[in-house]
Amino acid sequence: MTRVRFAPSPTGRIHIGNARTAFFNFLFAKKNGGSFVLRFDDTDLERSKEEYAQAIEVDLRWMGIDPDLIVRQSQRFALYDAAAQKLKDLGRLYPCYETADELDRRRKRQIARGVPPVYDRAALKLTDDERAAMAAQGRKAHWRFRLEERTMHWNDLVRGESHIEAGSLSDPVLIREDGTYLYTLPSVVDDIDLGITHVIRGEDHVTNTAVQIQLFETLAGTAPIFGHHNLLTTASGEGLSKRSGSLSIGGLRDAGIEPLAIAALATLTGSSDAVHPVTSLQELGEAFDLSHVSRGAARFDENELATLSARTLHGLPFALVSERLAEAGIAGPKAESFWAAVRGNLETFIDVRVWWHVVDQTIDPVIEDTDFCAEALALLPDEPYDAQTWSRWTGAIKEKTGRKGKALFHPLRLALTGKESGPELAQLLPLIGKIKAAARLSGQSS
């Protein structure tokens, strides 16, 4: 069965760029009848915070991403220890005693000679006595994975046929001097243990793939299928970070951005599919295809997101917002017709409260022309009102007063709603009703 994972570090709030990877994995899993794992890469015990882990779960579920399984690397060290021991027993994980300063000087000498700054495997030449002497000096070993010098090939879900010459890479450090693990080993061990079939992630991980394939082959025999998508950047091409507060999922939620707008923009930006509003993740998922993702830049504009959010609201049917309306105190027999009347004028969902107040609560009307409003009141028809009432009423007013266009409609809008603009009055009038309309035309708060 298809199984994917989203693996954030709980060292900050996730942003829309992280959401891109999360949606790619989630939609891929659902389209293929698979499962989605949320894995917290929290081996950095000092920087990882429980509050961030909880916030990430909240953010994902708010966007409609409900994990099938949640795991934490901080609870899985025994697996990593066993894998490290296996690699040591196979001779693929070896101790190195160079300090950071020594390695830096060595790299600079290589660059000066025009030689690629690749680790020269000097530690493999040490004798047991030399290693013991290093330890006696107080040096602590870091451990490197010995790469096989061969070309690593994979068929990337986004980039197609790909390869990296492993011989051009330094043997990667898997364990630091203090015994803590770097990202690579725990990630591979977890993918094996959890049965991850596809690793879908940002293109900044492409260079890691050759190393990880060799680790997979050494520890499990086979590697999962990889897919590396382009990264989401700001409109000016800058990368995103967890410190980009305005672009964090929590920040976007607080700003009233619709989660479906985030899903559409995060998924479709930088692909051959135009960014457009959707009414559900299922709709988005049915059209989702990793092969449509471009290898070019994936830039977006915050203003575009706000516009897309409003367009998303405009297209949502009542059935998908009825619970949210009820939470906002909007319920009852006229809730559905109210939504149909106002959704096209909303910038954020919270704006519904403004218009519900207009149709259901008391407002102070604005009387621009007392005599005209009095004439309009005299012609106000009896209920029941329907979608044609407005047209019949304003037609009668036009015939009586000779007014048309803005001179006819603007004073009526100010009196009935107290606002300069808004939803079509043909839809609002039946919601306002005759009693309130008459009072407001008379200048009374109603």
Q: Mind listing the pLDDT tens digit for each residue in 39-90?
A: 999 999 889 999 999 999 999 999 999 999 999 999 999 999 999 999 999 9
Task: Tell me the three state secondary structure of residue 156.
Answer: strand
Same fold, 3-71+184-232 and 245-318: no
Q: Tell me the average pLDDT of the chain.
A: 95
Mean pLDDT of 364-375: 96
Look up the CATH number of domain 3-71+184-232: 3.40.50.620
pLDDT at 369 over 90: yes
Q: What does the pLDDT read at residue 343?
A: 98
CA distances from 174 to 81, 117, 165, 187 (A): 11, 19, 19, 11
Given the candidates 3.40.50.12780, 1.10.10.350, 1.10.150.120, 1.20.120.450, the CATH classification of the domain at 370-441 is: 1.10.10.350
Range scoring the smallest mean pLDDT among 196-200, 262-266, 301-305, 386-390: 301-305
What are the domain boundaries of the chain?
Answer: 3-71+184-232, 79-175, 245-318, 319-360, 370-441
CATH T-level fold of 79-175: Glutamyl-tRNA Synthetase; domain 3 (3.90.800)
pLDDT of residue 242 exceeding 60: no
Asked if residue 245 has pLDDT above 70, the reply is no
Going by pLDDT thresholds of 50, 70 and 90, the confidence category of residue 147 is very high
Other C-beta atoms closer than 10 Å to the C-beta of 101 total 8
Residue linked to tokens 């690793």: 199
Q: Residue 17: in which H helix or E strand, if any?
A: helix 16-31
What's the pLDDT at 233? Answer: 86
Average pLDDT over residues 139-155: 97
The whole-number pLDDT of residue 299 equals: 87
pLDDT of residue 12: 93
Q: What's the average model confidence in pLDDT over 306-322?
A: 97
Contacts of 406 (CB under 8 A, 6+ apart): none
Residue pair 189/219 in contact (Cβ under 8 Å)? The answer is: yes
CA–CA dist 431, 425 (Å, integer): 10
Q: What is the mean pLDDT of residues 248-255?
A: 94
Checking phi first, is residue 345 left (phi over 0); if not, alpha (psi -120 to 50) or beta? alpha
Look at residues 277, 249, 283 and name the one whose alpha carbon lies nearest to residue 265: 277
Q: Which of residues 336 and 244 earns the better pLDDT score?
A: 336
d(C-alpha 377, C-alpha 380), whole Å: 5
CA-to-CA distance for 268 and 195, rounded, in angstroms?
A: 28
Distance in angstroms (rounded) separating the CA atoms of residues 272 and 291 = 9
**Mean pLDDT calculated for residue range 416-444:** 97
Q: Is the pLDDT at 184 greater than 70, yes or no?
A: yes
Residue 396 pLDDT greater than 60, yes or no: yes
Q: State the virtual CA torsion across 361, 364, 367, 373 in degrees, nearest 10.
A: 30
Q: How many residues does the chain have?
A: 446
At residue 246 the predicted structure's pLDDT band, cuts being 50, 70 and 90, is low
Alpha carbon distance 127, 123 (integer Å) = 9
Q: Is the pLDDT of residue 219 over 90?
A: yes
Q: How far apart are CA 353 and CA 409, in angstroms?
A: 24
pLDDT of residue 300: 83
The predicted pLDDT at position 247 comes to 83
DSSP secondary structure code for residue 175 in this structure: E
Structure tokens at 387: 């979608």
- 442: Cβ–Cβ under 8 A, 6 or more apart, which residues? 373, 374, 377
The pLDDT of residue 123: 95
CATH number of the structural domain 245-318: 1.10.1160.10
Q: Distance of alpha carbon 73 from its chain centroid, rounded? A: 22
pLDDT over 70 (residue 100): yes
How many alpha carbons lie under 13 Å from residue 375 in its C-beta half-sphere?
A: 15
Residue 241 banded pLDDT, cuts 50, 70, 90: low
Predicted confidence at residue 301, as pLDDT, reads 83
Tokens of 236: 């000016």
CB-CB contact of 55 with 13 (8 Å): yes
Half-sphere exposure of 231 (CA within 13 A, CB side): 14
User: What pLDDT band is residue 243 in, cutting at 50, 70 and 90?
Assistant: low
Find the mean pLDDT for residues 217-239.
Answer: 91
Q: Are 123 and 98 in contact (CB under 8 A)?
A: yes
- Whole-model pTM: value is 0.92
- For residue 244, give both structure tokens: 């980009």
Neighbours of 257 (CB within 10 A): 23
| Residues 397 and 375 sit within 8 Å (Cβ to Cβ) | yes
